[in-house]
Structure 1
């Protein structure tokens, strides 16, 4: 890591009519290792601000807002699905001219990122996995009950709308955290600001109803991991109520050489364990980037 103060650019790029917002650190070296940061629900690229501040002067960190999140703007007729999120991310990567990077996958960033990896395995220099699930045992009963809802069920929409409330958003930050006073309220307040927009409510419901498509792909992603064996760093919040610890350990079946670190925290592990996770990422990038 570096003690230099990071300069971060905040930009937009058009990808097939989607105005993608992204944050990009401006490192000291033109040939700095590249880390693509894919955020999760219900957040956006702002969840990586502190990580970018810590690592961005030495590494090129790029964090887009996925469609339906943050400052990214979508056309009125955009059809929200995880396939579409991956298509836009694919176009985003190509617009930036990236052809090799380490990919950080978290929550929704995992199904988006693994779809991208299936399309372009040659791009993936390594993986950082933080509570990004790809295994059945990584789904808690709560997650199964929420993420396998079907729109034909008359109560399904009301059930899923509970995930879009301030209480639930705050709970995702604080549940399972040993020291809640380390969690700044800014994250969940900003997340909720975007979730409360009427057009975002429908986008989030569409993605929640489509989540079953990710579970159905787990076998494919596990086969991809076995085939390509990317260097992998796993940093996992053990007390995540949605994606519990077994989901992190499960990666070792297909990637026995992966490095696993478990932390006594919840879903958003960077919020209270940045000081421990950032050095692991820096060391991993230094060892992985060739």
Structure 2
């Protein structure tokens, strides 16, 4: 598998992305698979899924600002709508016109936003334990975010349980938690600039797409869920399935929120079957 890493400026912020492909894989006339991670994560969360997908497709993994290796400017607008615009602008800059979006958790909402804004760019969408129906932050929290050094409290609040306890909460099979996983999901907490940016995100995040908007998204969608997901419960997946008019739902027992880490082979098989069937 060949991996190329790049950083480019989009809308005044640096965006980090990776191309993954297998030189022996027939890629002609195939869409590019675009991986979009969740909150406080990065393309690292797809590390077990990428090697499987690249056997058949070119994979583009993006670190959304302010996460991973992308920029953490306090002046960027961290709304979901704007994050979607950044991904669209990156795809246009790279000359990619056919995509399948694969979004995990918050990345699912970004994927749906892209489908809403630029449906002709997206052939299909795969939602892995996607967030859904979350409202905007309360006025009191938005107001509090303007207090000097609010980011210090935010860092404490997000890190209060510690990385291991956080992983225990999102992974059903605790034997999967190893040193590499702990290191990968702890890394964001070493850079205070991400919490400065997240303070801005508290004010910018407009909330998830409403049901009446979801019902207008015609893009074929595959929803895959862990039945033991404590972060985004299965009921959210069932509701998304009802509201997205061209969707189907697959669930896995004894599986939590980190679906790409917990069931990479199964998720790969589901995605390939979904991509190889007619809309």
The interval holding the TM-score normalised by the smaller chain is: 0.7 to 0.9
Which residue of the partner structure matches residue 111 of structure 1?
A: 109
Which moves more between the two structures, 148-157 or 194-203?
148-157
Q: Which of 173, 179, 202 is equivalent to 2:167?
A: 173
Q: Partner of 2:216 in structure 1?
A: 224
Aligned residue pairs total 271
How far apart are 1:99 and its partner, in Å?
Answer: 1.4
Counterpart in the other structure of 2:207:
214
Partner of 1:91, secondary structure, is helix
Cα pair 1:166 1:192 within 8 Å, conserved? no
Give the corresponding residue for 1:286: 276
* Structure 1 residues 62 and 129: alpha-carbon distance in aligned structure 2, compared to 1, 3 A threshold: same
CA distances 1:166-200 after superposition (whole Å, capped 9, x unpaired): 73544443226432112334234233322331211
Offset from partner CA, 1:120-175 (integer Å, 9 cap, x none): 0111111101111233xxx6xxxx7x954622258997874455317354444322
CA drift of 1:41 comes to 1.2
1:101 equivalenced with 2:99 (yes/no): yes
**Cα-to-partner distance string for 1:189-240 (whole Å, 9 max, x where unaligned):** 23332233121111123324444x124x323531332xx2x22211112222
**SS of corresponding position for 2:18:** strand
Q: Secondary structure at the match of 1:152?
A: helix
Match of 2:229 among 228, 240, 250: 240
1:56 shift after superposition: 0.6
Question: Residues 118 and 176 of structure 1: is their aligned pair in 2 closer, same or farther, counting only changes over 3 Å?
Answer: closer
> 42-51 vs 14-23, which deviates more?
14-23
4+ residue runs of structure 1 moved beyond 4 angstroms?
Answer: 146-149, 153-160
User: Post-superposition shift, 1:269?
Assistant: 1.3
Task: Return the alpha-carbon distance in structure 2 between the equivalents of residues 257 and 84 of structure 1.
Answer: 25
User: Unpaired runs of 5+ in structure 1?
Assistant: 1-5
Of 59, 69, 72, the match for 1:71:
69
Q: Is the 8 A contact 2:66 2:73 kept in 1?
A: no
Aligned to 1:250: 239
Query: Secondary structure, in 3 states, of the residue corresponding to 1:150?
Result: helix
RMSD over equivalenced CA pairs, Å = 2.8
Give the 3-state SS of the residue equivalent to 1:84 in structure 2. Answer: helix
- Structure 2: 5+ residue runs without aligned partners? none
Q: Which protein is richer in helix relative to its size?
A: 1
